Amino acid sequence: MLAQPSTADHSFFVACPKNTEGLLLAELGALGAADARETRAGVAFTGTLSLAFRVCLWSRVASRVLMRLTSFPAVGPEGIYEGAAAVAWEDHLAASGTLAVEATTVVRQGPLANLNTHFAEQRVKDAVVDRFRARSGARPSVDLARPDVRINLHLTPEEALVGLDLSGDGLHKRGYRLEGGGAPLKENLAAAILLRAGWPRIAEEGGALVDPMCGSGTLLIEGALMAADIAPGLLRDYYGFLRWNGFDPAVWEGLLDEARRRRERGLRRLPPIIGYDVDRRALGSARANARRAGLAGRVIFEERALVHLTVPRAATRPAPAPGIGTSPGTVRPGAGPPVTPGLVVTNPPYGKRLGESPQLTTLYETLGSRLKEGFQGWEASVFTGNPELGAHLGLRAHRINSLRNGPLDCKLLLFRIGASPGGAASTSVPGEGRPPMIRGAGAVMFANRLAKNQRHLRRWAAREDIHCYRLYDADLPEYAVAVDLYEDWAHVQEYAAPNTVDPVRARRRLRDVMAVTPEALDIPPGHVVLKVRRRMRGDDQYQRLSDEGRFLEVKEDGLRFLVGLTDHLDTGLFLDHRLTRQIIRRLAPGRRFLNLFGYTGTATVYAAAGGAQATTTVDLSATYLDWARRNLSLNGFNDTRHSLLRADCRRWLAQAADRPNGEYDLIFLDAPTFSNSKGMTGTLDIQRDHGELIRAAVRLLSTQGVLLFSTNYRRFKLDETLTQELAVTDITKQTIPPDFARNPRIHRCYRIVR
């Protein structure tokens, strides 16, 4: 056991989202961290383990709590190994226990500038394991999900810092929201928004909290936890210290008892908290989240369109008895007097997430109009990643805060709603609150074409067990959009109009598309997602659009995949490659498969399903590799035969050239048209570089191996010298599915052998 008592002082660092350091500093001071000091991306303090446990339990803004163990000069990979090996890990972990290592770096120059963090993690793991093996002959195992001890390595230009992650997992995971839920914000970001908006003060005064576009309810549930003085970590069943040798159960149980008593008292004074949305599925998730948070019946959710937003009225039924798991039944705002003015808080969609849509402009206009007309005396907080859309609210913000939602720079606009200017009429949004009206011959023509295409393709899709397919691809020049059907969701991509097209007319046509699509396809209006597709350049390639983390599980050829309809321009399942994936499955039995630029691993899943002996997926993006891992797991492929490598494919191929030939029997090479990702060496231009990539990949092929090369670059021309060196067959026609027959230039595909 760790010899240090729980009353001894330790050094801690608490990480938090960017631009919330000041909030965290105030929070830690209130929790008892007297010497807390703000640093880059977090707050440092010195204190007891009891205080650190309290921070894990009570901090609403923190992401992780790290306890410093040691530091040493960062002179290279072997220096990392030696420094980590010097730590008395037997004081922290049993030889039969489990561990995980996470590394971060801010080094930009010197010997560690190009060090892969995964390699650094491996060296620390090796140091720990070797130390145990040398002393006892036994060694701890690795558990990436819930280890007994999670070790943190942080590299700076001056030193390497090694510590323990006491949180174990991100503290934003409160325990009430299921993985893959549709909540748009991380919980600690939602808490930061509410703190910036002054919600604790408003709640203390008895003011209500209203979210007119609540989605799965994260803002409201976090608001309820604040107002009821409920510890945000009370529901969590896992922390990084619970199986650590230094854990003091008595101290922790005392903190939990205190938190439970405060929750019981706090629930008795909870003010009205109400959320509205038009998406029934999202409301179902919101109610389930509230139930898991012990707030069933206390946070109210109703189906209501934004155009019908009004000040809620108080419920007449008395509040239920407090307690987790209490189910007082359905409670709706009653017919009593209006609730006490409080805070309207919301995170509406914005252009960087769903495309620069005229519909969103109308949405913001409607929100501003409803606030001005009905919420005099209230405060309002609107979180947006597009200040230009925020300008359409028609309200003057008295304060603007900068925050980040994942990779996006966002603004939190704070308003005090005064008297209505008079005469302002609310503006309706197509598809919200009333059946959308089809206006004009063009809209009717578009609706008819959608319905016709669906009738034609539906029989084919049912026969082939296809649940996701392209329904429309700019069939009518006036309506330049692509419409893909994913189960009962429509994914609409607008092709950016040229400068010669009247923008007013283009906006009207897009409104037609969004209005008639739900009716023509008989799907809920909330199941239509819009993005703008334009020529991708530079950093735009595969750019993340939001951090919702919303996934929809779909089926294809008996396999299951996760698609993301909002977070990225592409959904993670390239529909035009459906037949290519089928070819991979047919070629896969007994073969060693390599998926280069693997993206979300859909081709790998097909290879595994086809009976591949082993698979290797290489991609530079940790996000996409995790997505690939989830796709493999979803289909039951969890064993070590399926490896995922994070690397620049171009550099990896160059390094692989030094290994013996014939390492793979089947290779799929589907590189982006252009990329200049920060993790790459130079840039990738598929027209310029495809010869180099193909030759490097062929060197890895076995004698009877097959390389499938595909590209979506529409003006692609194959390097003719390749046909002199290799056996190249153009199989493009064989790989164009029926739903893309109207646009066969969607991709080019080649079969290449030695």
Q: 727 near 695, Cβ under 8 Å?
A: no
Percentage above 90 pLDDT, the chain: 67
- pLDDT of the residue at 2: 46
What CA–CA distance (Å, rounded) separates 508 from 259? Answer: 54
pLDDT at 682: 79
**Element spanning 12, H or E:** strand 10-15
Distance CA 13, CA 11 (A): 7
| For the chain, counts of helices (H) and of strands (E) | 20, 30
Residue 580 has pLDDT above 80, yes or no: yes
* pLDDT for the residue numbered 260: 97
Q: How many CB atoms lie within 10 A of CB 66?
A: 26
Least confident of 111-115, 437-441, 497-501, 722-726: 437-441
What phi, psi does 146 have (nearest 5°)? Answer: -140, 70
Find tokens 């299921």 and name the residue. Answer: 178
pLDDT at 12 over 90: yes
Residue 325 has pLDDT above 60, yes or no: no
The yes-or-no answer to whether 10-165 and 187-228+270-416 have a common fold is: no
Asked if the model's pLDDT at residue 656 lies above 80, the reply is: no
How far CA 504 is from CA of 272, 299, 359, 497, 661, in Å, comes to: 42, 41, 13, 11, 59
Token pair in block for residue 300? 């109210």
Tokens 């893309």 — which residue? 740
Task: Quote helix, strand, coil % in the chain, to nearest 5.
Answer: 35, 25, 40
Structure confidence at residue 27 (pLDDT): 97
pLDDT digit string (tens) for 449-502?
999 999 889 889 888 889 999 999 989 988 889 999 998 899 999 887 666 666
CATH superfamily of 187-228+270-416: Vaccinia Virus protein VP39 (3.40.50.150)
Q: Which residues contact 185 (CB under 8 A, 6 or more apart)?
A: 193, 218, 219, 347, 383, 405, 547
Q: For the chain, give the mean pLDDT.
A: 87
Helices (H), 150-279: 187-196, 199-204, 218-227, 249-267
85: nearest Cα among 119, 149, 129: 129
What pLDDT, on the 0 to 100 scale, is given for residue 110?
Answer: 77
CA distance 393 to 413: 10
| Type of residue found at 72 | F
Distances (CA, A) of 704 to 479, 665, 691: 47, 7, 21
Residue from 46, 70, 65, 39 nearest 160 by CA: 70
Task: Give me 372's structure tokens.
Answer: 């001005």
Range 230-254 average pLDDT: 97
What is the arithmetic mean of pLDDT over 424-446?
A: 49
Q: How far is CA 55 from the centre of its chain?
A: 25
> What does the pLDDT read at residue 544?
44
Question: Any bridge partners for residue 209, and if so which?
Answer: 273, 343
**Residue 522 — left, alpha, or beta (φ > 0 → left; ψ -120 to 50 → alpha)?**
left
Q: How far is CA 637 from CA 553, 615, 628, in A?
A: 16, 10, 11
The predicted model scores a pTM of: 0.57
Greater model confidence, 477 or 435: 477
Calculate helix-pair angle for 49-58, 249-267, nearest 10 degrees. 30
Domains in the chain: boundaries: 10-165, 187-228+270-416, 440-534, 552-753
Token representation of residue 552: 């929809």
Asked if 217 and 183 count as a contact pair (C-beta separation under 8 A), the reply is yes
Q: Return the percentage of the chain with pLDDT > 70, whole number.
A: 87
C-alpha distances in Å from residue 386, one per residue of 392, 700, 706: 11, 47, 47
Closest CA to 557 of 594, 600, 608: 608
Indicate the CATH number for domain 440-534. 3.30.750.80
| Cα 71 from chain centre | 33
Phi, psi of 364 (to 5 degrees): -65, -40
Task: Please check whether residue 16 is in contact with residue 62, taking contact to mean a CB–CB distance below 8 angstroms.
Answer: yes
* pLDDT at residue 277 is higher than 50: yes
Tokens matching residue 648? 């620049």
* Model pLDDT for residues 585-617, shown as the tens digit of each residue: 999 999 999 999 999 999 999 999 999 999 999
Q: Is residue 34 pLDDT above 70, yes or no?
A: yes
Least confident of 84-93, 148-157, 620-629, 650-659: 650-659
The residue among 228, 238, 232, 165 whose CA lies nearest residue 192 is 232
Is pLDDT above 90 for 174? Answer: yes
Residue type, 411: K
- Tell me the CATH architecture of domain 552-753: 3-Layer(aba) Sandwich (3.40)
- List strand residue ranges (DSSP E) for 326-466, in order: 343-346, 379-384, 399-405, 408-416
Whole-number pLDDT of residue 273: 98
Which residues have a Cβ under 8 Å from the Cβ of 682 and sit 6 or more positions away?
Answer: 676
* 3-state class (DSSP) for residue 289: helix
Angle subtended by helix axes 503-521 and 440-463, to nearest 10: 40
Cα–Cα distance measured from residue 32 to residue 35, given in angstroms and rounded to the nearest whole number: 9
Is-contact 670 711, C-beta < 8 A? Answer: yes
At residue 662 the predicted structure's pLDDT band, cuts being 50, 70 and 90, is confident
CA 506/CA 103 separation, integer angstroms? 48
Query: Residue 545's pLDDT is what?
Result: 41
> Under DSSP, is residue 620 helix (H, G, I), strand (E, B) or coil?
coil
User: Which residues touch 402 (CB under 8 Å, ≥6 apart)?
Assistant: 19, 409, 410, 411, 412
Decide if pLDDT at 428 tops 70: no
Rounded CA-CA distance 155/158 in Å is 8
The residues, ordered by sequence, that sit 6+ positions from 632 with a Cβ below 8 Å of its Cβ are: 601, 604, 605, 608, 638, 642
For the segment 93-126, what is each residue's pLDDT rounded down to a tens digit? 999 999 999 999 988 887 787 788 999 999 999 9
- Looking at domain 10-165, its CATH class is alpha beta
Residue 566: band (very low, low, confident or very high) from pLDDT cuts 50, 70, 90? confident
Q: What is the pLDDT of residues 336-355, one digit of tens each?
A: 789 999 999 999 987 644 44
Q: Residue 574: name the closest of 438, 691, 441, 739 by CA.
A: 739
Strands 748-753 and 727-730: antiparallel
Classify the phi-psi angles of 726: left when phi > 0, otherwise alpha if psi is within -120 to 50, otherwise beta.
Answer: beta
Min mean pLDDT across 24-28, 74-78, 281-285, 720-724 is at 74-78
Alpha helices in 293-384 (DSSP H): 351-354, 358-374
Cβ count within 10 A of residue 321: 10
Give CA–CA dist 551/633, Å, rounded.
Answer: 15
HSE at residue 580, side-chain half, CA atoms within 13 A, is: 32
> Phi, psi at residue 408, to the nearest 5°?
-95, 135
Average pLDDT over residues 7-29: 93
CB 450 within 8 Å of CB 470: no
The DSSP element (H or E) to which 301 belongs, if any, is strand 299-303
For residues 524 and 280, what is the distance between their CA atoms, to the nearest angstrom? 9
Q: Which of 382, 385, 387 is nearest to 410 (CA)?
A: 385
Q: Cβ(28)–Cβ(45) under 8 Å?
A: yes
Separation between Cα atoms, residue 165 and residue 152, nearest integer Å: 6
Return phi, psi of residue 329, to 5°: 90, 180
Alpha-carbon span 576 to 560, nearest angstrom: 17
